[in-house]
Amino acid sequence: MAFIPKMPEAARRDLQAAEQLDAGPRRDVAGYLYGIAAECAIKEMIKPIRVPLEHDKDAIFYAHFP
């Protein structure tokens, strides 16, 4: 069975966890999860963008943003 990424669901899940942690003592972890949620949301938005053939769309999609 192939892995099917579900970026919208991941973004919502990470955002919800970040908001819960941000209200408590783990703001450091909340900041990390806010970033991951944003990255998932951006990757979902770039899925329909046409990428020139000289670039590997999968490499772009699965890359981790700095």
d(CA 10, CA 36) in angstroms, rounded, equals 9
- pTM value is 0.76
Q: CA separation (Å) from 40 to 12, 53, 58, 64?
A: 9, 23, 14, 10
Local structure of 3: helix, strand or coil? coil
Residues 41 and 7: beta-carbon distance below 8 Å: yes
Average pLDDT over residues 21-43: 92
Does residue 66 have a pLDDT over 60? yes
Q: What is the pLDDT of residue 12?
A: 97
Percent of the chain with pLDDT over 90: 47
Close Cβ partners of 22 (under 8 Å, ≥ 6 residues apart): 30, 34
